[in-house]
Amino acid sequence: MLKNITVTVPKLTLPGGVSAFWNALFPEFKAHEHVTFTPLEIGGHGKNIFGPLIDLWHLKKATDKPTDLLILNPSLGSRSFFRDAFFAKYLFRKNIPFVLIFHGWNLDFEQKIDKKYISFFQKSLGRAKKIFVLSYDFKSKLLAWGYKGEVIVSTTMVNRSLFVNNPVLNQKSENDDNFKILFLSRLIKAKGIYETISAFKKLQVKYQHLQLIIAGSGNEIDAIRGLVAGNDNIVLTGHIEGAEKIKCYNNCDVYCLPSYSEGLPISVLEAMAFGKPVITTAVGGLKGFFKDGTMGYFVRTKDAEDLQEKLELLLVAPNLRKEMGDFNYNFALEHLLSNRVAQKLLGELESLL
């Protein structure tokens, strides 16, 4: 018998981690004929104070049709937490089972829940049949708040469509002598962009043939332009996707994302799938997932000197870069592509259907 699963998502045509996650998964689920996944786009109302009511009305209309399971995709932040909590209360009253997939996790808001919202959590989101998170720390916190269901530590994933007709291992041109560092993310301070630029400039004093590619857009773009002006070895590409994104991954030697906090960034997984070593920080889901010294290196947050040292370790050791890149490629092929993640997720949901 066909089962119907509704999934709340942001507008799927806009960039963002949640939309990228589900844009990769929905095509994979089409291979499973016993279940249908239907997106329900919510949010995007800006400062409209009636936005949450509009979303609740859309949820009500969607669940007037037969619904076997509903998937909520909250982040642990004030707007998403309260909106999805009221969704959960509505679904509980209608006796529609639901699960949560947490994508973002704000540690400051976590402390607010500790102080005054634990009971509210238990009576709303805490009624989910299962909860998926990206970190064992997040799992421990949910259990501390009194959640009685199953908490599953999972990963984000790499969209398999990136690799259609694009073999990825060892694609860098043999004629390219530059050691290329790729930073691909939103250009905000918390992603570690300033530490990356600082470490690169210090390496430039000692080594020639270095290049830093900064791909992305964000509220720090003007400040960054001023900071790198006149340095011909630092390239700002702006936001990239598709073939341009594939080219950047293929042509770099190492991927760098020294974030202050994270869930589990898709860009790290994409870099691994392109066979590149990664330098990042032990935050969020990376702490339990990333194998320091095997997949690349952890660096201390906000520490440009540590970042410089780890970049230099890879700069001077091409065999080590290849060893780490090969490991990452094979690991991603086995565990991180969207078809693998879709299969695992459906396996976890089927017991609820």
Mean pLDDT of the region 308-331: 96
Closest to 156 measured CA to CA, from 19, 326, 320, 278: 19
Residue 15 has pLDDT above 80, yes or no: no
Closest to 287 measured CA to CA, from 311, 309, 268, 315: 268
Is the Cβ–Cβ distance between 187 and 221 less than 8 Å? yes
Mean pLDDT of the region 126-148: 96
Q: Which residue has the higher pLDDT, 79 or 162?
A: 79
Which range among 163-167, 216-220, 243-247, 303-307 shows the weakest confidence by mean pLDDT?
163-167
- 17 — pLDDT class (breaks 50, 70, 90): confident
Q: Which residue has the tokens 């791909």?
A: 215
Which range among 37-46, 90-99, 144-153, 154-163 shows the weakest confidence by mean pLDDT?
154-163
Angle between helices 193-206 and 304-315 (to 10 degrees): 50
Closest to 348 measured CA to CA, from 159, 153, 158: 153
Res 176: pLDDT: 60
Res 172: pLDDT: 57
Q: Residue 85 has which token pair?
A: 């909590």
Is the Cβ–Cβ distance between 262 and 278 less than 8 Å? no
| pLDDT tens digits, one per residue of 34-46 | 999 999 999 888 8
Q: 21 by DSSP, 3-state: which?
A: helix
Res 343: pLDDT: 93
- How far apart (Å, rounded) are the C-alpha atoms in residues 72 and 116? 23
| Spatial CB neighbours of 261, under 8 Å, sequence gap ≥ 6 | 107, 190, 283, 284
Res 50: pLDDT: 86
The backbone torsions φ and ψ at residue 219, rounded to the nearest 5 degrees and listed phi first, read -75, -5
Residue 170 has pLDDT above 60, yes or no: no
Mean pLDDT of the region 196-212: 96
Res 44: pLDDT: 85
Res 160: pLDDT: 87
What is the bridge-based pairing of β-strands 130-133 and 69-72?
Answer: unpaired
- How far apart (Å, rounded) are the C-alpha atoms in residues 105 and 283? 11
Is the Cβ–Cβ distance between 261 and 107 less than 8 Å? yes
Q: 188 by DSSP, 3-state: which?
A: coil
Report CA Rg, the chain.
21
SS3 content of the chain, % helix, strand, coil (to 5): 45, 20, 35
Q: Which residue has the tokens 């989101």?
A: 125
Is the Cβ–Cβ distance between 189 and 301 less than 8 Å? no
Res 175: pLDDT: 53
Residue 162 has pLDDT above 90, yes or no: no
- How far apart (Å, rounded) are the C-alpha atoms in residues 346 and 75? 21
Residue 313 has pLDDT above 60, yes or no: yes
Domains in the chain (CATH in brackets) are: 3-157+337-350 (3.40.50.2000), 161-335 (3.40.50.2000)
- How far apart (Å, rounded) are the C-alpha atoms in residues 13 and 156? 19
Q: What is the dihedral of CA 97, 21, 137, 84, to 10 degrees?
A: -40
Res 344: pLDDT: 93
β-partners of residue 41 are 9
- How far apart (Å, rounded) are the C-alpha atoms in residues 267 and 272? 9
| pLDDT tens digits, one per residue of 252-311 | 999 999 999 888 888 999 999 999 999 999 998 899 889 999 999 999 999 999 999 999
| pLDDT tens digits, one per residue of 75-122 | 999 889 999 999 999 999 999 999 999 988 988 999 999 999 999 999
Provide the percentage of residues in the chain whose pLDDT is more than 70: 96
Res 264: pLDDT: 87
What mean pLDDT is reported for the chain?
Answer: 92
Q: Which residue has the higher pLDDT, 307 or 49?
A: 307
Is the Cβ–Cβ distance between 198 and 302 less than 8 Å? no
Res 232: pLDDT: 94
Q: Residue 128 has which token pair?
A: 């989910």
Residue 58 has pLDDT above 90, yes or no: yes
Q: Residue 143 has which token pair?
A: 């259990």
- 49 — pLDDT class (breaks 50, 70, 90): confident
- How far apart (Å, rounded) are the C-alpha atoms in residues 35 and 3? 5
Provide the percentage of residues in the chain whose pLDDT is more than 90: 79
Q: Residue 307 has which token pair?
A: 């970042």
